[in-house]
Structure 1
Amino acid sequence: MSDAAVVLVKPSMEYREEYLSFYTEWKASGEEMVPWVIEREPTDFESMLAFLSNHERGVELPDGWVPDSTLWLVDERGRVIGAVNIRHRLTEWLLRAGGHIGMGIRPSERRRGYGKAMLELALAEAKRLGIERALLVCDADNAASERTIVGCGGVRDEDFVEADGRVFKRYWIRT
């Protein structure tokens, strides 16, 4: 990993330009945007921040959704390197295929150890939220995510297979 120190921060106007850079890079890559929350178009940045704040407080959630906290992984220069979304509790669907923690590193910063650093920080945040054991889920063909999860202490549970055959590997980690 880069020698730069990284921290998780709450989304704020202070990181607007850096987040827009993060979003634009990911969008241009054509890859699936993970975690789900980064798919939200950030042009109206204040509206996006309000949306994230509402989700954290459990306000205006769609039926069946749970409160969730979104944090950004930022380096010492203030550059947004990644995003993590922590669900405060699990629904039946999240227990099968979503888990407590979803995260992603911007395409240009992958394979530098940022994923492991972000997961370690996210597990500490999950503990602060009262989550004693966090469920992490990854696609069966996502070897990088699986290595990160196992590297942070993930203990394998039963896979979940969707009706279309998509396989999710499931891991539990004590916070």
Structure 2
Amino acid sequence: MTLQLVKPDKNWYSAYQSFYFEWDESKEKMIPWVIAQFPDDIDKLLAFYDDHHSGNIPQNWVPDTTYWLVDEANVIGVVNIRHYLNDFLLESGGHIGYGIRPSERRKGYATIMLQLALKKAKELGIKETLVTCDAENVASKKVILRNGGKAADDYVDNDGNIIHRFWIDA
């Protein structure tokens, strides 16, 4: 099986819809946040991704690029790479957010997707990549550590949630 990160396009749209609806049915929080954007209209979805990549974004946001992790026929995961950090992202969001569809978890895909995303981040000129996860997300912590994550100070948000922070050298 060949896995690759692809920029979202119409050729993968039905596979993306399958990914989206599976996640939606799980009732889990959609991570990264871009998963929930315009799932019923491919043109709006692609325009949204293009706007965010080019920096046509709300004030206080940063440009970002989204990729889909695909095999020969399926969208397995989504990764979102922020081009630089603002104060919020430095505390709790990091450079990279990623998620694997529920039926494909625990198969090593997240580790591969983060590895591929780190290469994309390096192409964007990011020399040190911040990746974060909620303290209770043990699987994500393992993925980050497998990709060379070095623990930084944790961040505690206003609700008392602990966010683990890790730096990964390019």
Q: TM-score, normalised by structure 1?
A: 0.96
5 Å-filtered alignment, 1:130-169, equals 130-169=125-164
Q: Which of 18, 35, 40 is the matching residue for 2:32?
A: 35
For 1:15, the equivalent position in structure 2 comes to 12
Shift of 1:10: 0.2
For 2:83, the equivalent position in structure 1 comes to 88
Give the Cα–Cα distance (whole angstroms) in 2 for the partners of residues 39 and 51 of structure 1: 11
Give the Cα–Cα distance (whole angstroms) in 1 for the partners of residues 102 and 39 of structure 2: 18
Does 2:163 correspond to 1:171? no
Where does structure 1 differ by over 4 angstroms across 4 or more consecutive aligned residues? none
1:92-146 superposed Cα distances (whole Å, 9 cap, x missing partner): 0000000000000000000000000000000000000000000000000000000
1:29-68 superposed Cα distances (whole Å, 9 cap, x missing partner): 0000000000113111111111101100101x11100000
Give the Cα–Cα distance (whole angstroms) in 2 for the partners of residues 103 and 112 of structure 1: 15
5 Å-filtered alignment, 1:57-76, equals 57-59=54-56, 61-75=57-71
Query: What is the DSSP-based 3-state SS (H/G/I as helix, E as strand, rest coil) of the residue aligned with 2:167?
Result: strand
Give the Cα–Cα distance (whole angstroms) in 1 for the partners of residues 44 and 37 of structure 2: 10
Give the Cα–Cα distance (whole angstroms) in 2 for the partners of residues 152 and 88 of structure 1: 19
Shift of 1:5: 1.5
Shift of 1:164: 1.2
For 2:94, the equivalent position in structure 1 comes to 99
Give the Cα–Cα distance (whole angstroms) in 2 for the partners of residues 5 and 140 of structure 1: 32
Gaps of 5+ in 2: none
Give the Cα–Cα distance (whole angstroms) in 2 for the partners of residues 65 and 78 of structure 1: 33
Give the Cα–Cα distance (whole angstroms) in 2 for the partners of residues 163 and 56 of structure 1: 29
Maintained 8 Å contact 2:49/2:66: yes
Give the Cα–Cα distance (whole angstroms) in 2 for the partners of residues 58 and 164 of structure 1: 30
Identity of aligned residues (%): 51
Shift of 1:17: 0.3
